[in-house]
Structure 1
Amino acid sequence: MNRRADGINAWNDIVLESFSGSSVDAAASEFPAELARCSIEELNFICVESQPSQVHRWATERPSGSSGIALLHLQDTGQGVNHQCGHSVPLAPGNGVLCNPDQQYTVDFKTPYRMFIVELPIRRIAGRRPMFDLEQDAGLGVNAHKSRMLLSLLRSAWSEFEFLGDDEDWRQCVSRAGVELALGALGGVSCPRPVGPSMELRRAVIEHIRCHIDDPNLRPSAIAAKFGVSRRTIQSVFEKMSTTPSAYILDERLRAAVEMLREEKGSRTITDVALSSGFSDSAYFSRCFHKKFGVPPRLYMKR
């Protein structure tokens, strides 16, 4: 999806549509700008090319609920400063910053610029980095070396987007690489703080799920019993990740199933894949798979 604007009013309409609660201030009424949204399997990002301006998010209102995502802002060209949660991060080409889209922030762009914005589900980040806490880490810069490598991939994916639609295997490869690089870049985010028992429990629960994803009896009640806590306590662990225990387990099971289908095309039956990823019913597995990926697993295997 590509959207272009010639004036600041039209640009505000485009920005508000793509980023709820956002507004742009600029001195010039003539305002050539462009926004492109790209989705490549799991990799979702936006490329913005615009003029010197000040971007505000949630300056006069507040979001009605949690978006369930974190935003990774990556400066490709131009200069700016990102302000959120008391942190101010200079943005030069190659720099990146983690943003919480559900809290107020401002970006001052001093020059014309191009920025890539990667959308990352919080549950996906926490699965890789259990100690991640967006409320604590929002507004902090990311590892510059890692962000530059991610930028290189995003530039290529953006310029070759039409070609990617013709090659399923290559699209999956680009998606996996982009998501992994984005998750890796967050390793540079560090806000020293004591680790409380809730974060330790989250880490232990996620590791337990990862190690027992093939167990069909892996349910919130069983996890609560394993750790000697209430089911409500387990639910609260996942509320900070904007999901539920059952939804997280289902998502991880489907992720495990996709990896099996990718790596062992044709060598395993659908029933075998379903059982190996923790589903006790292959028909239910097929319905869940179709809902998430748009095709039934049998067709996915033939891609």
Structure 2
Amino acid sequence: MRIIKNKNEQTHTITKDIQLLPFLLELFPNKSRNAVKSILTRGQVSVNGKTITQHNHPLTSGDEVQILNNQAAQKQSILNGITILHEDEDIIVIHKEAGILSMAAKDPQERTAYRQLNDYVKEDNRKNRIFIVHRLDRDTSGVMLFAKSEEIKEALQENWHEIVKERVYTVVVEGALKKDEGSIESWLTESKSTKVYSSTYDNGGKHAITHYKKVGGNRQYTLLEANLETGRKNQIRVHMEALGHPVVGDRKYEATTNPLKRLGLHATTLAFTHPRTGTLVRYSAPVPKSFYQLVK
């Protein structure tokens, strides 16, 4: 079992099949059973980036179990609708739930991801700040990246297309796709009403390429994995509309159904070169179960 420790948490890589509570009891032999259960109850344990409180949660070889110390757990308790997947001196990677704005809000009291993380880092030092690197729509869930300094933010944004190696989304679209996989290439332009339009020829817009693969589906809906070769505003939403299969819940781009009561779009994986260490890092957020249930 590989163990990585920092001041806030320890991470363990699982090497055998075992349930979560028995694993923790083995890990903390000097703690009582009730004390170990309390660690779970307080939300200090996450598996592969998702907080888990169930005692019988199954662990398999390769899973990563993160355990926060009490102080770090209390600090993270101020966060609502976002979960920290990774934090170091330069970046914070989060899992944002649908319904949470990334940054700007008309209501100055709304707890956007940006405002919550700003409050979070100020718990350690009032001078600390965070900087937004990219955005997700309010009703899109998944992995987001923030910087802890303007220097790191600029390093990431200025070299975004070179630094980012993988951007994978999970998408639920209307209808049954005839092709199991394919690619969409077009040029995107934005109107004054902020709607983005797709053109099959170079009209001076931004070049956009999306690769997609069918994961599951039925007669009404299809579950796709979309890999962005370029990252343009509303790219997947526009390309799915152009394909004739709009993202469910996306009235802006011609969807007629909203079975999930949210946008059927989830940022599953972000892989990039760390701006300071130069190493390739990869973070994932679990796909909402409702996506799979819809295409059964």
Q: TM-score, normalised by structure 1?
A: 0.28
Structure that is richer in strand per residue: 2
Q: TM-score, normalised by structure 2?
A: 0.29
